[in-house]
Each structure stands twice: as structure tokens, then as C-alpha cells.
Structure 1
Amino acid sequence: MPNILTRIMAPFLKRGYDGASGGRRLRSQPETPATLSAMHAARGTLARRARYLATNNPLAASAVEGWVSALVGTGVKPQSNHADQGIRTALNLGFENWTADADADGATDYYGLQALMARRLVIDGEAFAVLINTGTTLSIRLIDAEQVDPSLNRDLANGRIVQGVEFDQSGRRVAYWIFPERPGMAFATALQAVRVPAADVIHLFKPETPGQVRGISWFAPVMLRVNDLDGWRDSQLMRQKVAAALAGFITNSEGTGQPFDGEQDGNTLIGGLEPGTLKFLPDGMDIKFSSPANIGAEVIDFAKITEREIAVGLGLPASILTGDLSDANFSSIRAGLIEWRRRIEALQHSVLIHQALRPIWKRWATTEVFSGRVSTTVPAALPAKFITPKQAWVDPKKDVEAELMAIAGGLMSRREAVTSRGVDIETLDAELAADAERAQTLGLTFNVPANTNTVAVEAA
């Protein structure tokens, strides 16, 4: 009777989503509980394993370099939007002069700090920096992610601390609890976390869920696959080492083996084998050599498929991850780069600029105004645009021609076209004017395509 009822009710008991069913095929499907609790539990382990991969695995190291180059390159530059041109120029020049002294540790400049933060963002999933005002100057000190005490969780009278990040009752970040010494220092003693106001801390991470507190390593989706592929490659390498080695087996009529090492008689070995010698075998003895299988095309195809899966999980084009362009053509690489650059732009503006570069600019501009080096108000000095490094074209000639047509047709401003090259239009125009004046003074003439130049100038 129960079986009959089950068959009758089966069409009505089926779930609307097969992925939520409990059948045999999905019985072993893992599930993720509440996203935040999973992040809190896995963040540290993922970061430690990602650090190992980025140090020891070629693909992981290539992925890190690919993302750092894409996000930062030679550096993202701020350009003041102050209404007064003179003050705007002073702010831009002052910031560029400050970049050489931006690092509190003196190890690099402002753009090097950007690259280092991007590197930790990819590997650890987050990067931290402390803004330090000393007198009338500003400097930036990068700190290790583990310096923000991940074990500190506490309820407060007016808020709470979660993994070293303090929130007020409204859920706003108000402070970070930071160890004064970096973990792993040779002379570090017992550490006590110090409360640092959130206004003085830069916390860079890619938000993946509402209420996220700390960042997750970008290697999380591919960590198992990278580790398994690494082990598989080691096995294949050992297989080739065995295939390249001379392996011989001496047997007698009874089928038992005889060791290689033995007594030598002139150039003839009685019981051993060395390069350049001949072996005389007694009656009833035979020698056979190993013939391990060579690596076939299916092994190479398997490696490429796995590498592409890893590239997808890391958000990278496969050619960027592996450096292999053997299967790429003009159309495929162009289409792949266009999609990847959209992803780069989104991360640059919503993560890198929003969380790190804009707060740094605001603190620096405020410091300049309060120090009296720039005669303006703080609100007027804060607006700025950020110029990202130029993305190289696949076909420069066609892309430039398309840009000129878009400018002439009113679909793009000349300022937008110049900014996309990673250059400020005012700086470019000043250089062009200076070049033209110098050429005229020296009586120099250059072969500039008149029509192209006219289109660009008229459209501007």
C-alpha cells in the first residue's frame, strides 16, 4: 500500500529545482551553510594555503602577477577636479612629488604600494594599510593581514568586535584591533592588539556577500584543482625521468633476477652494468630493458583543459595564466581581452579606487589644505578622478581609427579618449603645445597626417 501511494504522489512531491532534490545523484553534493560563518571559518586556512601556492606553484605565481599587472600596472593616478586651474595644477604636482615619500617603511613609492596591496588582495583576499600623519606630512604603512587579530571576537556595550574589526550598534566599522608587531618577526614578544580608528585604516577586499567582515583569497575556487594538478605534474615528470633512464633486468632460466653491482674484469662486468661496457651473460641468462609509455596527446589535452578550468576560476584568460598562445587567434584573443578588461575596470573602480585610493587622496588633500601648502577649502580639494593605466590594443591601427571616428561622430569626447590611455588631457595638451612651439622655434617640420589631426582637433 505505501508503495502505491508513493507512486501516486510522486509527481506532486517533486521539487521545482532539481538542484535542491535529494536523489542519488545529489546525495553526496556538499552544501555551504550561512555564507558569513563559512567565510569566518575558512579565511585563515585559505590564506595560508594560497601563500604557499603563490610561492611554490608556477601557475599560481603567474595568476598573481597577471592580476597585479592588470589592476595596477604602472599605477593608478589621481587627478584633481578643483575648479581653479592653478590650484588644480598645484594639487596634482604636489601629489606626484609626494609619491616618492609615501611609504612609511621607505621600501617603495606610492605606486609600488598599490602593487603590493593588489598582490595581498589576490593571495590573502585582503590588504591593510595604516595612514600616519606626522606633523604636516602623510605616510602609509602596509601591514600584514594577520596583524588584524583574527581571533578577537567580543561583544561590547555599544557594538561588537568580529575577527579584529570593531562595529558600532548600527553596523558601521569604527576601529581595527591591530598587533603592533608583524607576525613572524625574529624579536617579537607577547603581543597585545591596539585599537586603531577605522578612519586611519585602509581595508581592501572584494565584497562577495552582505555583511562580509574580512576578505577571502581569490584562490578559493581553484585551490584543490591547482594542488591536484601540481601533484599530477610531479608524477608525470617522474614518469619521464624513469623513461629517460636506462633500466635493465637480468634474468636466468629460473626467472630470478641478478643485481647490477658486481665484480669488474677489465671492461667487462661480471654482475653489473655501466655506460660504455659490454655484458657477457652466462648460459641461460637474458637481459631485458624497460619500455615505459610515452606521454601522449591525451595527456597534453588533459593538462590544457585543467589549466583552463583554473584560469576560469581565477577570472583570468587562459593565455594570461599559462602564457600559451598556441591555440589563440586574433578574434579569440580580442574577444577574451574585451571581457576581461570589463572585469578589470569593475574591480579597479568598485574595489581598488573606492576602498583604498580615494580615501588616501582625501587624507592627502586634507593634509595639504591644513598645512597651508594649498590655498583652498577641504571640500573643494577632495574631488578627483582616477586615471588607470592604458590597456594595450590588439590592433592599434584599427582601434585608433575607431576612436577618431567616435570623436568625430560625437560618440566620445577627446577627454575620454585621452583618459583611456592613462594620460591626463591637460598634461597632454600642455606637452603638445610645448612641442609645437619648440618645433616652430627650431624650424622643424614633421610629417603629421593632416586629416587625422584635423578631425581630432575639430572634435575636441
Structure 2
Amino acid sequence: MSKKTSLEYNAIQSKGQRKAPATRTMSEDAMLKPRDRRKLTGTVHDQMRNLSLVAWMVRKHLDYVTDFNVLIRTGNDALDAKLNQLFEWHGRKENFDICKRHSRRRALRLWESHRATDGDALAVMLKTGNLQFIEGDRIAGATATFPKKNRPKTLNDNGLVLDQYGAVKKYAITNRVDRDLVYSHMVDAKYCIFDGYFQRFDQTRGISPLTTAITTFQDLYENWDFTLLKIKLHALFGIAISQKLDEEDTGINDDGEQEGDIGSDEFGTAASAGTANAGEAEINFMDGPQLLRLEPGEGADTIESKTPNSGFLDFSEVMIRAGLLALDIPYTFYDSMKSSFSARIIDRNDYEESCRQKRESIRSFLNQYTAWKVAAWARLPDVAKLMKAAGITDARELVRAVEWIPAGQPWYDPKSQIEAELKAVAGGIQSRQRICQKYNLGDWRKIVRELEEEEREIEKRKVSVAIGDPGQETKGQEEGDGNE
């Protein structure tokens, strides 16, 4: 009889060999209810406090994603300089943060940190010109306490007021009072910058990408604690001293009883059975290393548990690798000894690709912030005068001249990388500006101006500066040959 062939998807078949397939699809907001969201957020923050691996993992994510420099190109150097001055001034903590705690750079790191751990975060653009930052769990409905039952009728359990299309109209802001969230006020969405990690179109609240690694890290943390406790207990064992017996000297008398005492001293030093003077072997290492004078045929060995074993270490590595995937971080970032130099470079290039979308979220925040601040600065008399000189009549045109560039990363192998980038420029497939952005070197035009100032200073001081590799003709020599 021929075997019956299935014409269905195996993924939806329940054969009793694994967890049954899900029977329905729900909204992510319904899957993660407000009280469960608070529990999840609290668990992630607890791991951030107590497990250095998770804390490092988030910090490394922030290092690659949140560092941006502003690049302004209006075509007017004076206007560029003025806007750079304003952005630098407003980036200070006393001007950027209404609480006067965080500069723009630090606030960006905290913004992304809360997006990664809480799922989302909110920034309110205040009339004072400052930003007020709200952690995700402080946007609350069902988990908040409303004085005198004064809860807005249109507010949902996630702390949002939505329009007919699902767009957010208002956010409910709460304050922390001990362990409770107490409703404070509603804020209009047009004055807010809101962002989070979304997986589906229907989501209204973001969900932390660390959700998939929570149990992995929790198990790893507990296993490390148990293994360390086991190692400490096994460290209490001491030394075993044994003596080879002749075939006739068994240590057993004619009545079949063991001669002599067998036991251990108060320090846990064990003596093996079959040694004539086993009960007299006492060794104390409390005062440091000891010299053992053993009788012929005796031997000494340490009692150890061989903990942790290689299997536990290998499994821990697999768990760490799986946990790092939550933020797309390569394992070679955690343990560089596990791969070659070229493999590490490939890993970093792959990770840079995964960071692009995450950086776009930060850039979106900075673009909204820029539109808000530049619109206000365009009304300043000195800025308006410079705009007129540059032929710019609209603040929106000024906003388009402002670009936020990821800071980039330093060279791994400067010599070979610089040579490759120079060839790319010479071949016309790369620009100086993009290379400067890639390696966090700033605006290439600023570098040109600095080089020009250096050349003038060198000429003024009449000093000789050699530019060239050893064995090559230097710049000064080339100029000298041309003058002859």
C-alpha cells in the first residue's frame, strides 16, 4: 500500500512532536498588554543592571547607531558657520534638555537605549525651545492612576488617542510616584517626536528587539551563578596522599578489619585508604605553599572537579551567539580571538549594513528636530540677513541644506584602507566627502581649509616639511626640481 502524501504546509500540522501551531493571528498590541509590557520592560532593565553582557551589548549597539555630525551646505560660508554655531550652542545640555541633564549627543544615546529596552520613546518639543524626553512606560493608559477617575474617554489602554485611520492624535503622559504611574496631562502629537521598534503595520507601540533574548540571557546568568557556586564548593577539597601497597600488605587484619584510622583533617585534607599512616597525614596550606616529604611509594594529587567542563563552555558560547543576534551584533565583537583579522573586518562590514536602517530612525529624529529649530532660527535678524545674502527666502530651503551624517568608525588597517580609498577617489568611484564621513573625519572642506592654513604657516616660518614615504622624492624636493 502506498504511503499517503500530504499536500498541506507542514508548519501548520500538529503531530504531537512539537508545540502546536498557532490557531489565530492577533495584533501585537493585544499580544503584549500594558501590564505585561511593564513587566517585560522591568525585566530588561534588571538585566541591564546585573548582567554585564547585556549592558555591553546595548552600549555597543549605541556606539554604532547614535553618533552623528551635522553637515551644512547652503552655498554661503557665513551662513554655514552661523548655523553650525547655533547647532553647537543648542546641543549643550543647558539648552537642549529641559531638565538640563543631557547634551544632544548623550540624549541621542539614551533615546536609542530606551527604544531598544522599552520598545519606544517620546520627545516633546516645548515652547521654551528645549526638549522633554519621556520613557516609553510613562506613556500609559491601563497601567496609570487617574485622579478622581478623570480618564479621557477616547484614551486607549496603551495611553494613546487615535484617529479613524489609526494615527496618533495625543499621548497620555504620566509621572512616577513611588512604583505607580499617575496621570499628568495629554500632549498633542504635532509637538512630539515618537519612535520605536515595529514589526507590523497595525502596531501602535514599539516592542523591544531584546524580547527574543530575555530568557536566553536569564538562563545564562543563572547557569553562570550555579557554576561559580559549584567551583567554590569544589575548591574546598584538598590533597590526597596515597601509598602503593605490596600484594601481601593490604592493610586488613586477620579478622577482616581495616587497620588504622581513615579520615580527613579539619581542613578537608583527605587520606586514601590502604596507607599505613593515613590518619597521620595532615597538610595545611593556610600559611602558603608547603614542601611534602613523602615516603618511598607514596604520591600526592589534588582532588578537583574539572568544573566547568568543556561542554558547558561550548553551550554557553552558543547561547551568547544566539542572544547577540537580537541586536545583530557579531560574536567576534564579543570574543575577537574566535576569528581571523580578515573575518573580523567582514563581520564589521556586515554589521554596518544592519545598522543602516537603525541609523535612519535616529536620522528621522534629527530631521524633525532640525525642522523645528531651523524654523525658529530663521526668524533671528542676523540669520535672516545671511539668508537674504545667500538668496534663500524660505526656511524649508534652509532645512534641506542641513544633513546629519553618521560619525563612522576608525580604521582597522590604516595603511591598506587609505591606499584603497585613494585609488577609489582616483578612479572616480568615491568622493572625499564620503570617505571623510565613513571614517568620522568631518567635513573635507574644513580639512582643506586647515591644510591651507598649515601651508601658509609653514611658508611664513620658512621651515622644511618633508611629505612622502621613505625612499620617495619628498614634496619639497619635487618643488625644488621644478624651480631649477
TM-score, structure 1 normalization: 0.78
C-alpha separation in 1, matches of 2:415 and 2:473? 12
* 2:88 is the counterpart of 1:96: yes
What is the CA deviation profile of residues 259-278 of structure 1, one whole-angstrom value per residue up to 9, with x for unaligned ones?
969xxxxxxx9xx998779x
1:396 corresponds to: 414
* Contact residue 144 and residue 182 of structure 1 kept, 8 A: no
1:101-120 equivalence runs, <5 A: 101-120=95-114
Is the alpha carbon distance of 1:444 and 1:117 closer, same or farther for their aligned partners in structure 2, counting shifts above 3 Å?
Answer: farther
* 2:355 is the counterpart of 1:348: no
Instruction: Please point out which of 61, 73, 80 is paired with 2:72.
Output: 80
2:465 corresponds to: 446
Is the alpha carbon distance of 1:118 and 1:452 closer, same or farther for their aligned partners in structure 2, counting shifts above 3 Å?
Answer: farther
**Alpha-carbon offset, residue 29 of structure 1:** 5.6
Flag the structure with larger Rg. 2
Is the alpha carbon distance of 1:448 and 1:31 closer, same or farther for their aligned partners in structure 2, counting shifts above 3 Å?
Answer: farther
* Contact residue 160 and residue 168 of structure 1 kept, 8 A: no
Is the alpha carbon distance of 1:206 and 1:445 closer, same or farther for their aligned partners in structure 2, counting shifts above 3 Å?
Answer: farther
Instruction: Describe the SS at the equivalent of 1:386.
Output: strand
The percentage of aligned residue pairs carrying the same residue is: 17
Amino acid in structure 1 at the alignment position of 2:398: A
* Structure 1 segments unaligned to the other structure (5+ residues): 262-268, 278-288, 455-460
1:172-251 equivalence runs, <5 A: 172-179=167-174, 181-182=175-176, 184=178, 191-246=182-237
Q: Which has the higher contact order (CA 8 A, sep 6+)?
A: 1
1:355-366 equivalence runs, <5 A: 356-366=365-375
* Contact residue 12 and residue 21 of structure 2 kept, 8 A: no
C-alpha separation in 2, matches of 1:115 and 1:70? 10
**Alpha-carbon offset, residue 110 of structure 1:** 1.0
Range moving further from structure 2, 363-372 or 109-118: 363-372
Is the alpha carbon distance of 1:395 and 1:150 closer, same or farther for their aligned partners in structure 2, counting shifts above 3 Å?
Answer: farther
Is the alpha carbon distance of 1:413 and 1:248 closer, same or farther for their aligned partners in structure 2, counting shifts above 3 Å?
Answer: closer
Instruction: Describe the SS at the equivalent of 1:191.
Output: strand
Amino acid in structure 1 at the alignment position of 2:383: V
Is the alpha carbon distance of 1:81 and 1:106 closer, same or farther for their aligned partners in structure 2, counting shifts above 3 Å?
Answer: same
Instruction: Please point out which of 335, 339, 342 is paired with 1:331.
Output: 342
Is the alpha carbon distance of 1:276 and 1:208 closer, same or farther for their aligned partners in structure 2, counting shifts above 3 Å?
Answer: closer
C-alpha separation in 1, matches of 2:473 and 2:410? 21
**Alpha-carbon offset, residue 25 of structure 1:** 2.7
C-alpha separation in 2, matches of 1:164 and 1:358? 26
* Contact residue 77 and residue 387 of structure 1 kept, 8 A: yes
C-alpha separation in 2, matches of 1:112 and 1:359? 18
**Alpha-carbon offset, residue 51 of structure 1:** 0.5
Is the alpha carbon distance of 1:304 and 1:448 closer, same or farther for their aligned partners in structure 2, counting shifts above 3 Å?
Answer: same
1:163 corresponds to: 158
1:44-63 equivalence runs, <5 A: 44-63=38-57
Is the alpha carbon distance of 1:403 and 1:276 closer, same or farther for their aligned partners in structure 2, counting shifts above 3 Å?
Answer: closer
1:369-448 equivalence runs, <5 A: 369-375=378-384, 376=387, 377-383=394-400, 384-422=402-440, 423-448=442-467
1:297-316 equivalence runs, <5 A: 297-316=310-329
Is the alpha carbon distance of 1:29 and 1:87 closer, same or farther for their aligned partners in structure 2, counting shifts above 3 Å?
Answer: same
**Alpha-carbon offset, residue 35 of structure 1:** 4.3
* Structure 2 segments unaligned to the other structure (5+ residues): 145-149, 241-256, 268-278, 288-301, 388-393, 476-484
Instruction: Describe the SS at the equivalent of 1:129.
Output: strand
C-alpha separation in 2, matches of 1:273 and 1:30? 64
Range moving further from structure 2, 219-228 or 86-95: 86-95
What is the CA deviation profile of residues 145-179 of structure 1, one whole-angstrom value per residue up to 9, with x for unaligned ones?
2221142799999x764611222223322221112
What is the CA deviation profile of residues 380-422 of structure 1, one whole-angstrom value per residue up to 9, with x for unaligned ones?
2211211111212322222111111111111112222222233
Is the alpha carbon distance of 1:449 and 1:259 closer, same or farther for their aligned partners in structure 2, counting shifts above 3 Å?
Answer: closer
What is the CA deviation profile of residues 101-159 of structure 1, one whole-angstrom value per residue up to 9, with x for unaligned ones?
2122121211111111122122212222222222xxx21222222221142799999x7
C-alpha separation in 1, matches of 2:474 and 2:143? 62
1:319 corresponds to: 332
* Contact residue 27 and residue 202 of structure 2 kept, 8 A: no
* Contact residue 227 and residue 307 of structure 2 kept, 8 A: no
Amino acid in structure 2 at the alignment position of 1:327: K
C-alpha separation in 1, matches of 2:52 and 2:215? 15
Amino acid in structure 2 at the alignment position of 1:399: Q
C-alpha separation in 2, matches of 1:360 and 1:205? 17
Amino acid in structure 1 at the alignment position of 2:431: S
* Contact residue 140 and residue 157 of structure 2 kept, 8 A: no
C-alpha separation in 2, matches of 1:445 and 1:199? 60
Is the alpha carbon distance of 1:389 and 1:23 closer, same or farther for their aligned partners in structure 2, counting shifts above 3 Å?
Answer: same
**Alpha-carbon offset, residue 333 of structure 1:** 0.5
Is the alpha carbon distance of 1:94 and 1:29 closer, same or farther for their aligned partners in structure 2, counting shifts above 3 Å?
Answer: same
C-alpha separation in 1, matches of 2:381 and 2:138? 35
* Contact residue 127 and residue 145 of structure 1 kept, 8 A: yes
Is the alpha carbon distance of 1:78 and 1:431 closer, same or farther for their aligned partners in structure 2, counting shifts above 3 Å?
Answer: same
C-alpha separation in 2, matches of 1:77 and 1:453? 35
Amino acid in structure 2 at the alignment position of 1:167: L
What is the root-mean-square deviation in Å for CA atoms of aligned residues? 3.7
Amino acid in structure 1 at the alignment position of 2:201: P
* Contact residue 141 and residue 172 of structure 2 kept, 8 A: no
C-alpha separation in 2, matches of 1:150 and 1:316? 34
Instruction: Describe the SS at the equivalent of 2:127.
Output: strand
C-alpha separation in 1, matches of 2:316 and 2:44? 21
1:24 corresponds to: 16
